[in-house]
Amino acid sequence: MSDPGTIPAVGDLAPDFTLPDHHGAAVALADLRGRTNVALVFYPFAFSGICTGELREIRDGLEDFQDDGIQVLAISCDSMYSLRVWADAEGYFFPLLADFWPHGEVARRYGVLDEQSGAPRRATFLLDRDGRVVWRAVGEPGERRDFGPYRRALAELRATAG
């Protein structure tokens, strides 16, 4: 196990990772650098009430969150198999990444793993095409994400990328 990371600050290069998506395909952050902006959405647990509501909001307003210039990657410590069932049940069309093993390693590198629960805190990192953090928000367990500032940050990222 690595040492707990610190939460990347605006301007920092985002820690690289490769994780399986809910279909088992490897998704590497490095492969997206230079090609697209990225929205990393860490959430505690598949099938939980708040997380389901948040990912439904992304699904239902996907044009607000993801387009040709921004790729959403949702990350939890759930297994790929659980994520596949959840994605199929909810109709999530963006990648759900499994930070399952080594358990929580990516969330730990981003400084958002709650070691007591073994789950990530609610955290969002917007990365520019160079892989640098341009906006971030980290919440507490049990607190729903406020998508207002998230949408404004995405609009600003689109405006500067154009």
Using alpha carbons only, give the angle 154, 14, 129 rounded to the nearest 5 degrees: 50
77: annotated active-site residue: no
Paired with 136 in beta bridges are 125
Paired sense of beta strands 133-138 and 70-76, if any: unpaired
Which residues have CB under 8 Å from 144's CB, separation 6+? Answer: 50, 53, 54, 122
Selecting among 27, 51, 58, 87, the annotated active-site residue is 51
> Would you please indicate which residues are annotated as catalytic (active-site) residues?
51
